A and B are shown apart, each in its own frame.
Chain A
Amino acid sequence: MKFTLSWLKTHLDTSADLATISRTLTMLGLEVEAVVDHAEAFKPFVVGHVVECTQHPNADRLRVCVVDTGSAKLQVVCGAPNARQGMKGVFAAAGTTIPRTNLLLKKTNIRGAESNGMLCSAYEMGLSDDHEGIIDLPADAPVGKPFASVLGLDDPMLDVNVLPNRADCLGVRGIARDLAAAGLGSLKPRVVPAVPGQYTSAIGVRFALGDHPEACPLFVGRQIRGVVNHASPDWLQRRLTAIGLRPISSLVDITNFLTFDVDRPLHVFDVKKLKGDLVVSLARGGERLAALNGKDYDIAAGMCVISDSVGVQSLGGVIGGAPTGVDAHTTDVFVEAALFDPLRTATTGRALGVISDARYRFERGIDPAAVVEGMEAATRLILDLCGGTPSALVVTGAPPDTRRIIHMAPSRVAALGGVDVSESDSRRILEALGFAVGAMSSDGSLPVVPPSWRADIEGSADLVEEVLRVHGFDHIPATPFVRPGNLPTLAVSREQRRVLLLRRLFAERGMTEAVTWSFLPQAEASLFGGGDGALKLVNPISVELEQMRPTPLPTLLAATRRNADRGFNDLALYEVGPGYRDPTPDGQRAIAAGVRAGNAGARHWQVAGRAVDAFDVKADVLAALAAVGVVPEQLQLTRDVPAWYHPGRSGSFKLGPKAVLATFGEIHPAVARHYDLAGAVAAFEVFVDAVPLPRARAGRHRPLLKPSPFQAVSRDFAFVVERAVVAETVVRAARDADKALVAAVSIFDLYEGKGLPQGTKSIAIAVELQPTERTLTDADLDAVSTKIITAVERATNGKLRA
């Protein structure tokens, strides 16, 4: 909402300066987003009198002028075609910065003629795009004085962010009222006497709204005959241009002026272009309107339209039609001041994509009690500026009764707002804002009637806000916000803690955390088991961001690609974030996903480089599962993995037959190709929510440590087994061979090839034996070795390697 200081002062009697007004507005909740004060910026630019103007001796297009600046007569070289002796222009002396170009003017010599400044164009001043010649000021402009006041540019403009609840502040008067309530002067009285009608309007108005009378509860019209629609006077044009509106003609400028002055949108029909009476109805759908903004609109069923006997001529509260609009030849008009339903106006405006000052106001709510007053104000301005004779008012419908009483105990301000405001202060503030406050009732509350223009006021909390914001939020004392108890309690649940732990765990493992979009192209989602239509955005920003991701893997792979494009091929990225199976709350899963690509670790003089593989991500997964409380021995490793993994180099960790806790492995080459990743890529997904929470227990004691006093012994064995035998079988058989003695089994070598029968491999294990009763003798060792060999041979159908 833009307005100028002088415009504000037509409603507010104040001596406050611009800075005070600006600060007060912001602290009232009317945030000032910009203040444009030309007077300050234009101060160095004065009225200059061109006392001489002669042809430049060395340049055809240049002239040499002598300019009287009020304090001196200076020579200036000027290229403008309209420069002439005797004119008054805008003079800038050397040392001044030109607003448009930000260039500092210097004393120069142009082709042999000295130039001590410049006569400026409207373009150079940033006032218009017209650079055809310099500004030509009126002959009576006072030489040496700032030119801004001559052109009325010394009126500072304020741009205020009016929030949706303050429809009343979409008029300058509403803003003035708030400032007056805050003690910055007084609101000037506004009396708009009725203009007596001299005849009955030739245009009648009828409602055909059926079951929806709320669409347009009140329509006030008036015919004015014999108007002359020439350009509006300077004062009005200046008001409009100052806030960025283009003056068009007196009639149009008057409606725009009242829209911004008192928040009263109006429409003016050219009576000669109307056929018959106006009917306000809901569109059937399929009608068309050529609107005033030059666009054609297809009207949908239910939109509130105003039609004559030919068809739709206006979209109520949104935009008028061009065929019945006023022009320079208009002599007979029908003025409309109406009320339109906010919701319907908003729906229509949104559906058609019309942004207009009228829509903006009607969808926020117009003062229902000021329709007739608005019409009278419009009539007076039209009669003043365009002449003509007015008809009697054509009133259809009635203003809705919005009167309501809200009871507020004065103590409510302190109870909710945290600051004591006396009853008399609360009363004064509310009354200044237009509320009627009755006498204290027996239950200790004040009966408060909100003004007709404050549809946003519903209950006592709203009244508290009104009192508080005028009293000043600054006056609310910061009150200590104490927690119950001396020590804090846990802020995160055990489930939440797992996610926080995992985030730090992967970083601890040398991986870099990324946060990537929750959405991605549908085709990519399909590669990862997603792409369901129920998870496709109806209104995505682009097709790149249209489908909710089934897992963070694809967005991490895309990030891997982007980094490869920057020259980073070796990386380890992870993200603990959502994946979506369906749109229900349970369809969203927390997934810890990671990608390792290229080489593991940097190249080093001591350590041979190697490509990442499935065992890198297996380690990630096992570390993650251990961190969230899974006992590794309970995990089952299976080969059934989703299609985006390499079928031979990936696996799933399950708990029981169904609960998949994690999948990991090398990425399927076809999927890697989709991301144009040529090197090794391994990845994992840990389904955090699928991991059962360990049983909650009181206390944190651990089982007693019973270290054996007898020395542990390690024995190595190698077995030749069929290639298909999984290593885990060997480990398990050895471990179970003597549960009392075998403390640990680890694989330290795997060999295939020369020296071994075709189709076999050798697996070498180290078995740690931990006696608990006595030191092992040679006989004990032989016995347990035999047990281990037998068990492994039986389990694998293999042989001890000779």
Chain B
Amino acid sequence: MSDFDTVRAETRAAVEQAADPAALEAVRVAVLGRKGAVTDLMKNLATLAPDARRAYGAAVNALKDELTQLIETRRAELGDAALAQRLTSETVDLSLPARPEAQGRLHPISQTIDEVIAIFGEMGFSVAEGPDIEDDFHNFTALNFPEGHPARDMHDTFYLPDAADGRKLLLRTHTSPVQVRTMMNQTPPIRVIIPGRTYRSDSDQTHTPMFHQVEGLVIDETTHMGHLKGCLAEFAQAYFEVEHVPLRFRPSFFPFTEPSAEVDIGCSRKGGELKIGAGDDWLEILGCGMVHPNVLRHCGVDPGRYQGFAFGMGIERIAMLKYGIPDLRTFFDADLRWLRHYGFVPLDIPSLITGLAR
């Protein structure tokens, strides 16, 4: 066996036996160091004939490269093993909970109003608003509720002390006074929706003294009851997000519209469960009609030239129907459990293009 073979074999054995980086380094020094076996081999060079030196030198260098490679490979192996061992020791229990982040919720009323705005906004409506404390001109008289008319009784009005100028102040019983304010301040064409708080002196299973309405008003020269039907049909379809929502218009009475209608949507109550959509039953959701000429006149709009429609619906009611919320009174209780259950995450920004809610 040549010296070469001996060095190779001994080194191979030593490398294999090196259990850690330090032992391996000792092997490296012993083989490739200044006093190492390979260096010793190189020292033999001087003893050789000049023509043999080249071949011998090349052979030593080849051996050196080979052994270096051997040691580095082993070094990488040892490193990998050490890392693997460290990582094992670093294991954490991932079943532990992550750092807490508070989960906020939007009230269903806010979400529903945003949904309604998203839909009617696409139809060219803009949002109008007005004060909760009104006078009886804006809430009743201008809307064609004659003084003392039984229709006023139907509203269960909350009153405040009269204003200094004698006006009767009250909490608006509907969002309709904003119709009056809008018509008095804008010239047609008008296309607004009016969401907001409303108040009636009524409190039982299905009534709360405060609730929310959204009102719609369109005034121009040509809009008729067919458009009202078209508008509400599209709204119902978009809002309820079910396959087909049949709509039924029934004649009704509101002092501020003529003709007036109540609108039912199709539903089924099979097995005691209410489902919006095609079915064998009807559910009233809103009142509407063509704006009464007297209302136009009261608001300085010429009824000989302009006409249009108005509608109004309860925000809580349509929220209850869409989201299956059983009890109106719970809307105002601020019960955290309720708000977390029926509330909406702020990411649910309603849009007809990207979706109303999840």
Contact = CB atoms under 8 A, between A and B. Distances in A.
Q: Do A and B bind each other?
A: yes
B335 A461 contact: no
Contacts, number: 265
A489 B123 CA distance: 9
Contact of A461 (B150, B259, B332): B259
B251 A28 contact: yes
Contact of B160 (A458, A489, A536, A545): A536
Interface string B333-358: 11111011001111001000000000
Given A511-B102, A513-B343, A536 B250 contact: no
Contacts of A479: 224, 226-227, 229-230
Contact of A493 (B121, B127, B333, B343): B127
B160 A507 contact: no
A35 B294 CA distance: 36
Interface in B24-58: none
B258 interface: yes
Given A418-B224, A538-B160, A478 B102 contact: no
A479 B229 CA distance: 7
Given A29-B251, A512-B340, A515-B332, A491 B104 contact: no
Q: Select the residue from B126, B151, B158, B228 with max chain A CB neighbours within 10 A.
A: B158
A534 B99 contact: no
A647 B14 CA distance: 79
A518 B332 CA distance: 10
A459 B346 CA distance: 50
A568 B336 contact: yes
Interface stretch (B67-75, B80-88, B106-114): B106-114
A545 B250 contact: no
A507 B199 CA distance: 27
B224 A483 contact: no
A604 B97 contact: yes
Contacts of A513: 104-107, 110, 339, 343
Given A465-B259, A507-B346, A541-B209, A606 B224 contact: no
B56 to A, nearest CB: 55
Contact of A606 (B99, B151, B250, B344): B99
Contact of A416 (B260, B290, B340): B290
A180 interface: no
A468 B260 CA distance: 10
Interface stretch (A42-50, A559-567, A703-711): A559-567
Contact of A417 (B101, B122, B189, B225): B225
A666 to B, nearest CB: 19
A539 B159 contact: yes
B2 interface: no
A491 B336 CA distance: 32
Interface string B205-222: 000011000000000000
A54 interface: no
A477 B229 contact: yes
B120 interface: yes
B106 A507 contact: yes
A333 B308 CA distance: 55
B251 A164 contact: no
Contacts of B160: 534-538, 548, 583
A507 B345 contact: yes
A506 interface: yes
B158 A588 contact: no
Q: Select the residue from A515, A540, A588 with max chain B CB neighbours within 10 A.
A: A515
Interface stretch (A105-113, A374-382, A571-579): A571-579
A504 B357 CA distance: 14
Contacts of B250: 26-27, 29, 31, 473
Interface in A497-541: 500, 503-519, 533-541
A56 to B, nearest CB: 43
A416 B260 CA distance: 12
B349 to A, nearest CB: 7
Given A364-B150, A511-B102, A464 B333 contact: no
Contacts of B117: 491-492
Interface string A349-389: 01000000000000110000000000000000000000000
Contact of B251 (A469, A503, A509): A469
A541 B332 contact: no
Contact of B104 (A462, A509, A607): A509
Contact of A588 (B133, B252, B339, B346): B133
A476 B197 contact: no
Given A492-B127, A573-B334, A474 B248 contact: yes
A72 interface: no
A794 B199 CA distance: 60
A174 to B, nearest CB: 14
A347 interface: yes
A568 B131 CA distance: 34
Interface string B145-172: 0111111011000111101000001010
A518 B120 CA distance: 27
A5 to B, nearest CB: 22
Contacts of B97: 604-605
A481 interface: yes
Interface in B255-282: 258-262
B126 A492 contact: yes
Contact of A583 (B163, B226, B349): B163
B335 to A, nearest CB: 7
A787 B100 CA distance: 43
Contacts of A578: 132, 197
B234 A164 contact: no
B2 to A, nearest CB: 60
Q: Select the residue from A479, A484, A492 with max chain B CB neighbours within 10 A.
A: A479
Given A416-B307, A534-B160, A587 B126 contact: no
A205 to B, nearest CB: 26
Interface in B113-148: 114, 117, 120-127, 129-133, 146-148
A312 to B, nearest CB: 22
A465 B250 CA distance: 11
B136 to A, nearest CB: 13
A480 interface: yes
A507 B249 contact: no
Contacts of B153: 346, 350
A588 B172 CA distance: 13
A350 B293 CA distance: 29
Interface in A410-428: 414-419
A484 B125 CA distance: 10
A478 B226 contact: yes
Given A534-B161, A587-B133, A363 B226 contact: no
B22 interface: no
Contacts of B123: 481, 483, 488
B331 interface: yes
Nearest 5 pairs of A and B residues by beta carbon: A510-B102, A418-B226, A29-B251, A483-B124, A491-B121
Interface of B: 96-97, 99-107, 109-110, 114, 117, 120-127, 129-133, 146-151, 153-154, 158-161, 163, 169, 171, 189, 191, 193, 197, 199, 201, 203, 209-210, 223-231, 233-234, 247-253, 258-262, 290, 292-294, 307, 331-337, 339-340, 343-346, 349
15 contacts: A343-B148, A346-B149, A461-B292, A477-B226, A479-B229, A481-B231, A483-B191, A489-B124, A511-B104, A514-B334, A538-B158, A538-B159, A541-B203, A548-B160, A588-B132
Interface of A: 26-29, 31, 163-166, 342-343, 346-347, 350, 363-364, 414-419, 458-459, 461-462, 464-465, 468-469, 473-474, 476-481, 483-485, 488-493, 496, 500, 503-519, 533-541, 545, 548, 556, 559, 562-563, 566, 568, 571-573, 577-578, 580, 583-585, 587-588, 601-602, 604-607
Given A416-B225, A606-B99, 20 more contacts: A26-B250, A29-B253, A165-B253, A418-B229, A461-B290, A480-B227, A491-B117, A492-B127, A504-B106, A504-B346, A507-B105, A509-B102, A514-B334, A519-B210, A563-B336, A566-B335, A577-B197, A588-B131, A588-B132, A607-B100
